[in-house]
Amino acid sequence: MSNNYKSWYLINAQGKTLGRLATYIAQVLRGKNQTTYLPHRDNGDYIIVINAADIQIQGTKNSQKIYYNHSNRPGSFKYKSFTQLHKKFPDRAIKIAVKGMLPKNSLGRQIIKKLKVYASLEHPHSAQKPHLLEI
């Protein structure tokens, strides 16, 4: 049997492309990089992403990529472009991209809680002694 010990990893997002970074993070969160991977279990590790404010996006997606929000009440449909979202909440673009790559069930909601994203270099998880992952 496998142990329940989960590793903590640190990823510096400075200069990285959003989509490529999100696919790598989703694989590690699901545990697909381990030999004990099972699709119905949460075998993945914790991920800390720093410098989320310095993420790159390719092409003209800065103005064309739209994030939608609706609270199911009349007239509550809202949308923001990538630049508007990134200016106000630098961490949300990464969280939304990774969440879209996870299962759409209770397992996916459990896995996304292991992703910690911070806009700058500082993070409160130094006690967990995260290992630096190079992408």
- Report the topology of domain 8-57+87-132: Ribosomal Protein L13p; Chain: A; (3.90.1180)
* DSSP one-letter string for 59-76: TTHHHH-EEEE--SSTT-
pLDDT of residue 135: 87
∠ Cα 33 16 20 (to 5°) = 45
Under the banding of pLDDT at 50, 70 and 90, the label for residue 87 is very high
Across-strand partners of 3?
Answer: none
The answer to whether 8 and 125 are in contact (CB under 8 A) is: yes
Residue 1 has pLDDT above 70, yes or no: no
pLDDT of residue 2: 52
The model's pLDDT over 16-66, given as tens digits with 9 standing for 90+, comes to: 999 999 999 999 999 999 999 999 999 999 999 999 999 999 999 998 999
* DSSP one-letter string for 72-127: SSTT--EEEEHHHHHHH-TTHHHHHHHHTTS-SSHHHHHHHTTEEE-SSS--S-GG
Domain boundaries, the chain: 8-57+87-132
